[in-house]
Amino acid sequence: MNVEKIIKEYEETIFCRSNRKPFDISTKWAKHITEKASIYAFFEKGKIVYVGESGSLKARMRDVRRTVNHTLRRNIGVKLFSHIKGYEKATSKQKFPEHIEQKVNEYMETLHVVVVPILFGRTEIEEYLVYKHKPKFNTKTKRAGA
């Protein structure tokens, strides 16, 4: 099997509508996620808005619920809610003000997520999908040093 065919199969799995599950910000949802290394994608109204990868997806899905742990949340806050009075930028050490955190949570619960376990090459698949589809909440097209 050649590399292009493998990439195409992963891309088809990510974009298959039947694989999309509503995202739930609660801890109950993350309990059912695999521990396996995976790529994941968030969709808004059928359009891909973020692609990520992790060596332990269960831990990563717990992280996505906390602004200090995940760039997706910080990018949502900046792009969608920075115009709101009282907005303060979040960092890896400080979350948004509580009213912005609530808006980020509400927005995230409108998203759907697809999870695809992958043993190796997940960084390359993630970078390919970001480069090709340009999801609005991915800010880098390549990892630092790549």
- Model confidence at 2, in pLDDT bands (50, 70, 90)? confident
- Residue closest to 115 by CA, chosen among 46, 53, 45, 40: 40
Q: Where are the beta strands (DSSP E) in the chain?
A: 21-22, 38-44, 47-54, 112-117
- 30 and 58 Cβ atoms separated by less than 8 Å: yes
How high does pLDDT run on average in the chain?
Answer: 89
Eight-state DSSP code of residue 5: H
DSSP 82: T
Write the pLDDT tens digit of every residue in 11-22.
Answer: 999 999 999 999
pLDDT confidence of residue 28: 73
Rounded to the nearest 10 degrees, what angle do helices 3-15 and 122-133 cross at? 70
pLDDT category, 131, cuts 50, 70, 90?
very high
What the chain holds in terms of domains, given with CATH numbers, is: 3-133 (3.40.1440.10)
Residues 15-74: pLDDT tens digits? 999 999 999 887 776 677 778 889 999 999 999 999 999 988 888 888 888 889 899 999
Per residue in 69-97, pLDDT (tens digit) is 899 999 999 999 999 999 999 999 999 99
Look up the pTM and report it: 0.90
In the numeric block, the tokens 């717990």 are attached to 62
Average pLDDT for residues 116-128, to the nearest whole number?
A: 90
What order do you get walking across the sheet with 21-22 strand by strand? 21-22, 112-117, 38-44, 47-54
What whole-number percentage of the chain has pLDDT above 90?
65
Q: In sequence order, which residues have a C-beta less than 8 Å from that of residue 137 and are 6 or more positions away?
A: 42, 49, 50, 72, 75, 76, 79
